[in-house]
Amino acid sequence: MAQIIDGREIAKGIREEIMNEIKTMKGRGKRAPKLTVILVGDDPASQIYVRNKEKACVEVGMSSETRRIPASIKQNELIDIIKSLNQDEGVDGILVQFPLPIGLNEQAVMDAISYEKDVDGLHPFNLGKLLRGENPLFEPCTPSGIIELILSTGVEIKGAEVVVVGRSNLVGKPVAIMLLQRHATVTICHTRTRDLGEVTRRADILIVAAGRPGVVYGDMIKKGATVIDVGMNRLAEKLVGDVDFESAKERASFISPVPGGVGPMTIAMLLKNTLRAAERQTA
């Protein structure tokens, strides 16, 4: 039976460290870090995610602002808002909540954010630095959270065979690069991989970010593996991951739950990046 990796508890420890650092900043007469989130349209899931980020900011003593913008906004108007925030010295981090409404180009919007305020770690400058093995200003939040979850188990990454199911720019590709830099042997596969189970059964560490429920189940997992489930899917008023949890926990040594695994860690790493952005700006 697998040991559950408690993302909420690990994230709580990170948030406490951030809160203490912000208290120190304020004690030195500096302002609190500020995160501005841009929410376009009224997607219900996005609204929940944004509320969770707002709550997390308040808990650690960080300033939070949400710009709620109608879905009818034009691309150039949205980019003008971002450019204005880029120039605002009182804003340390900018995050655009995805997905955007149809008709808006997500990549163009992401590219418009200053790489110095790209606390999501998805600007081409930061991703390019990551790919080159250099230190980006900010690493992507979800992959950073995944690494922290793995480290919390005590499982050795160096030399481990890692399989990443999913090839998105948000999770799959950057987490694979980050694990390569930690000397893991990494395979990236996806929902169109032939005989996916044959590949996943090789993994000492299995990361599933396919965006589809039930992609991986118990007999696709190597006995004793560490399983990180990045998926977040709503089925019959219930949240489930991309891994069939009940069958997977019988095979794995460690497994992250959904909810309560990667999600809280993503927000914790966002706060950490925003704090770092503020430290750079006020230095």
| Active site positions, annotated | 53, 97, 120
Q: Residue 185 phi/psi, 5° resolution?
A: -95, 115
Measure the CA–CA gap between 154 and 195, rounded to whole angstroms. Answer: 30
Q: Which two tokens stand for residue 210?
A: 């396919």
Q: In what order do the strands lie in the sheet with 161-165?
A: 3-4, 254-255, 226-229, 205-208, 161-165, 185-189
CA distance to 72, 179, 199, per residue, from 133 (Å): 40, 11, 26
H-only helix segments in the chain: 7-27, 44-60, 75-87, 106-112, 124-131, 141-153, 172-181, 196-200, 245-248, 262-282
